[in-house]
Amino acid sequence: MLYFDEKKRKLEDIFFSSLDNFLYSVKIKDGQRNWLSGTVARVFNQMHFDRALIFVTPFGSNVFGFDPHSGKRVGEFDAQARIRSSPNTANDRLFVGLNDGKLLCLTRQPPPPPEGEQGQTQTQTQTQTQTQTQVQSQTEVQSQSQTQSIQSWIQNLETQTSAIQTQSQPQTQ
Task: Dump pLDDT digits (tens) for 133-172.
Answer: 555 555 555 555 555 555 565 565 555 555 555 555 555 5
Helix (H, G, I), strand (E, B) or coil at 14: strand
Burial pattern 37-46, b for ≥16 Cβ within 10 A else e, equals: bebeeebebe
Determine the topology of domain 1-79 in CATH.
Answer: Thrombin, subunit H (2.40.10)
DSSP H or E stretch at residue 145: helix 120-168
For the chain, give the percent of residues with pLDDT over 70: 63
15 pLDDT higher than 60: yes
Closest to 1 in 3D by CA, of 39, 55, 73: 55
* Whole-number Å distance between alpha carbons of 120 and 89: 31
pLDDT of residue 161: 52
pTM of the model: 0.59
pLDDT of residue 125: 46
